[in-house]
Structures are given as C-alpha cells and as structure tokens.
Amino acid sequence: MSFIIVGLGNPGEEYEGTRHNAGRLAVSLLSDDWSDDQRTNSLIAKAKLGKKAVTLLLPETFMNLSGAAVKSLVKSVKAAAELVVIRDDLDLPLGRVKMTFARGAGGHRGVESVKRAVKTDKFYQIKIGISPTTPGGKLKKPQGEDKVQKFILSKFKPDELKIL
C-alpha cells in the first residue's frame, strides 16, 4: 500500500487562501493533475515522493466532515499507519512545521473527523503553524471561540504566504 496524503481544508473559492486551508494548500502544490473522484467525494492525484508512490487527497467536504473521504481509502487500522494528514495548527508560529504520530486532534475538528472515521489516532499529522508572533517570538493567538473562528477563516496576507 502507498502512503495517502490528505490536505485538510474547506472546498470552494471563498475558502481559498484562508488559514484553516493551510493543509489543503500544501497538498495542492504536490500535483498539477487532479481528478474529481466521486467515490471519495474528493480531488485525487497520484504522485511520487522519492521512489515511493503516494495518493494525494483533497476532500471536497467541509473540514469537519473530512473523515468520510479518508475512510473510503483507509479501510483498516493497519492502513491508517500510512496515512499522513496535513493541517493548520493555531498553536504553532506561522510557517513552523511539526510532524507527529499517534497524537490527538488538539481541538482540530477536521482531525477529529478523520480519527473517528478510521477508528484510530495511529496516523501521521503534519501541522503547519498559522499564528503570528510578537517581535520577541511569542505566539499571538486569538482568544475566545468567536475570535478563533474569525481568525482561522481569514485569508493569509501576501507576506504571510511567502513565509509558508
């Protein structure tokens, strides 16, 4: 079995370039040859990373329902060990990347959806930081659910996209 790399985000033009779509943006850069896959309700592509064949997946569902698309390709706990979910992370500074295995969702509802669908947390996550920092390097995360929602659904500024 080849690795399955999933870019979490929301479909549609209104969500392009938003912070919550950092994972979707990263995976979309890995191929120019996407096809609409009705079975998975996703955009899907094949690629190679080094000599390893991979399947790229961009769910065409909203973030919180991403698990359904992933489940159609990851049919066992064993298969989940070759799943890589790329997603945004509010707890990391803009542009910082962190890879984990068998970790919780950290409040990320897209990851929670995937975890429920594949019935395990034994998969890889590549987290892409989306939070600004102070000149001293401290995170400037929004506080409160309303402010968090507004922030993650806001678009990256051009200079922030360069950092990513």
User: Residue 108 catalytic?
Assistant: no
Q: Which of 4, 6, 8, 20 is flagged as catalytic? A: 20
Token pair recorded at residue 112: 């929670």
| CA-to-CA separations, 29 to 32, 121, 133, 134, in angstroms, rounded | 7, 26, 26, 29
The 10 Å Cβ neighbour count of residue 100 is: 14
Indicate the SS3 state at residue 164.
coil
Per the listing, tokens 């051009």 go with: 158
Name the CA dihedral angle for 116, 131, 14, 84, rounded to a multiple of 10 degrees. -40
Residues tagged active-site:
20
